[in-house]
Amino acid sequence: MNNKDIFSVQDYIAIVTGGMGQLGKQFVKTLAERGARVAIFARHIPEPAQICEVFPECCKRIIAISVDITKKKSIQDGLDVVLKKWGTPHVLINNAGLDTQPSAPPEVSGPFENFPEEVFREVVEVNLVGTFLACQVVGAAMAKEGRGSIINIGSIYGMLSPVQDIYAYKAEKTGIPFVKPVAYCASKSGIYNLTRYLATYWASKGVRVNTLTPSGVWRSTQDPEFQANYCARIPIRRMAREDEFNGAIIFLASQASSYMTGSNLVIDGGWTAW
């Protein structure tokens, strides 16, 4: 392969969990627009017409499969559809996850001492166990084929503790405090050593496993106070646009990162530099 082709994902087969989420849609779009065939794994899948509405330029290269990533059999059933239609995936992006926004009700965003055990278990089940199961099922097929790239989506709140002062405005504004919950942070933290474990486990099988760590992404529905406080903590002084991780996805999916495994690619506007 010559240098001009090292970022190519033409004719790759990719699976993106949570592919209809804010970042998931971007990952699906950037892969499909560059010639990859992409399967969206999600609990609630869109109709084909909706896929063409969301991805008008590349919808013929996208399918959506109903998959519950907390159930191993469901993932295997989804993979079987991909295998039958296209073949063994080259890329798996573990993007599906649960987070708690400042708009969340107080029963799931209060003090650590009162955080519900069932919510903690649910978040860990999706964010960490779901990633483990998807890696187990899809990664095994990749290893059998002797190639593949797994991209686990982390979070700066998996690397560092949240800056709770960012959310203090909620108590001042509404009288109800918001605490960035422990479940998301703990579940995302587990992703990093899962990545390192699998990178060394599958290195001889040609399967690379890396983490991509984004920081906060701007949404129109976010409180302006949250945005201002968050941006003040970022050296670049703004939140990420939803398309600013696409280059990293192509890099990690393609042969451009052929000697990279077990690593964490951080794209956070400088958040973790402070």
CATH of the domain at 236: 3.40.50.720
Q: Which 3-state string (H, E, C) describes the chain? A: CCHHHCCCCCCCEEEEECCCCHHHHHHHHHHHHCCCEEEEEECCCCCHHHHHHHCCCCHHHEEEEECCCCCHHHHHHHHHHHHHHCCCCCEEEECCCCCCCCCCCHHHCCCHHHCCHHHHHHHHHHHHHHHHHHHHHHHHHHHHHCCEEEEEECCHHHHCCCCHHHHCHHHHHHCCCCCCCHHHHHHHHHHHHHHHHHHHHCHHHCEEEEEEEECCECCCCCCHHHHHHHHHCCCCCCCECCCCCHHHHHHHHCHHHCCCCCCEEEECCCHHHC
Domain range enclosing 94: 3-266
User: Is there a domain that residue 271 lies in?
Assistant: no
User: Is there a domain that residue 272 lies in?
Assistant: no
User: Is there a domain that residue 229 lies in?
Assistant: yes
Q: How many domains does the chain have?
A: 1
pTM of the entire predicted model: 0.96
Question: Would you write out the chain's pLDDT as a tens digit for each of its 274 residues?
Answer: 455 799 999 999 999 999 999 999 999 999 999 999 999 999 999 899 999 999 999 999 999 999 999 999 999 999 999 999 999 999 999 999 999 888 888 888 889 999 999 999 999 999 999 999 999 999 999 999 999 999 999 999 999 999 999 999 999 988 989 999 999 999 999 999 999 999 999 999 999 999 999 999 999 999 999 999 999 999 999 999 999 999 999 999 999 999 999 999 999 999 999 9
User: Is there a domain that residue 250 lies in?
Assistant: yes
User: Is there a domain that residue 274 lies in?
Assistant: no
